[in-house]
């Protein structure tokens, strides 16, 4: 999973979706799935998903099983074919979480 996180980070940078500054605390406090009410999809990947999974790896915690995040990104980026390589990495992550 760690290598997939590195690949995901690099693809977000490649597509100019990586941000230097974190969203506001109120934007990060959303309780909606994928923080759809406060964050853009790429922001959620960077500031929630990547950070949480990296933290779990660093702390030696077991990674979540059975999640599927790729379908959400397929839907929100269905009109953005340039992001397909990001979705492919997310599909690999989903597969490794089974």
- Return phi, psi of residue 59, to 5°: -85, 0
- Return phi, psi of residue 94, to 5°: -60, -45
Neighbours of 4 (CB within 10 A): 15
Query: Per the structure, how many domains does the chain have?
Result: 1
Tell me, what's the pLDDT at 66? 84
Tell me, what's the pLDDT at 95? 87
CA distance 27 to 14: 24
Q: Which domain holds residue 56?
A: 2-19+27-96
Tell me, what's the pLDDT at 1? 84
What residue ranges of the chain have pLDDT lower than 50?
Answer: none
C-beta of residue 49 within 8 angstroms of C-beta of residue 69? yes
Tell me, what's the pLDDT at 11? 97
**What pLDDT digit, counting tens, does each position of 44-58 carry?**
999 999 999 999 999
Tell me the two tokens of residue 3: 């290598």
């Amino acid at each position: 999973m760690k290598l997939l996180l590195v690949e995901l980070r690099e693809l977000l940078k490649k597509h100019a979706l990586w941000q230097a500054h974190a969203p506001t605390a109120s934007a990060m406090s959303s309780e909606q799935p994928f923080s759809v009410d406060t964050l853009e999809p790429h922001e959620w990947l960077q500031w929630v998903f990547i950070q949480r999974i990296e933290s779990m790896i660093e702390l030696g915690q077991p990674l979540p099983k059975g999640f599927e995040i790729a379908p959400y990104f397929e839907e929100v980026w269905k009109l953005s074919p340039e992001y397909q390589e990001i979705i492919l990495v997310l599909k690999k992550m989903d597969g490794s979480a089974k």
